Amino acid sequence: MTHHTVQHGTATMEKGLSASPARVFAAWADPEQRKVWGSPSDEIDMRIDAADFSVGGEDVTTCLAGGEAVAVVRGRYHDIVPDKRIVYTEIIASMEATEGACLVSVEFLPDGEGTRLVITLQTVALDGSALLEEAQAGWGSALIRLAVGSAHARGCNAFFATVQAANQALFESLHWRTLRSLDLHGRPHVLMRADLAHYPPVHGGTLPLVAVGRRASCPSPP
């Protein structure tokens, strides 16, 4: 198929994590753990068809919706510095044609006892679609799933987060319930609670707990 429209995009996402860079890095290195938390949405399951976490190695992941294959993502690693950096490219294809490509740079920066995770996305959409926005949304959902699933595995029975009001609809679509509105530093926020029934535990000591919004914790809200 010949594509007549090409769109380029660049975005940087940052997340604070309570785990060390070594533990966060390990969450990427293990394909079985990535499969648990890395899906871009609740409607998509991931099947790991090939996994080679090494410079020059290739990952092949099939995205399934209702058990049917809807897309294939082929990733190749170009730079891996343990506990510090991963750089890789992805080719994203539907079952009919290649949709685009993405260069992903992941930096694991020490932040006290935790990690400042910086993800830079550089996309090219061959079909004129909003590939960058879709990639950002997918990453956002995956990191939320990682945060709640990790806490659930540790025995957490209630998970709360203070979220900017602009992100309220996203969290609600991911099975969060709004408890009340807040005003923090002159900006509207909401206190929300995750429905743990929709977040299976993410097991393994290597997995980090991601701080969602300004606060993510197990205790009861104030």
Domain boundaries, the chain: 7-156
Q: Which CATH number fits domain 7-156: 3.10.330.20, 2.40.160.10, 2.40.50.100, 3.30.530.20?
A: 3.30.530.20
Q: Are 141 and 171 in contact (CB under 8 A)?
A: no
Confidence of residue 128 (pLDDT cuts 50, 70, 90): low
Give dist(CA 75, CA 51) in Å, integer.
Answer: 9
Distance CA 145, CA 204 (A): 15
Considering only 70-74, 172-176, 201-205, which range has the smallest mean pLDDT?
Answer: 201-205
Average pLDDT (92-109) is 92
- Name residue 105's beta-bridge partners: 87, 120
User: What span, in angstroms and rounded, lies between the C-alpha atoms of 94 and 101?
Assistant: 12
DSSP track, 93-137:
EESSSEEEEEEEEEEEEEETTEEEEEEEEEEEETBS--HHHHHHH
Interval 47-89: pLDDT, tens: 999 999 999 999 999 999 999 999 999 999 999 999 999 999 9
Entry pTM: 0.77
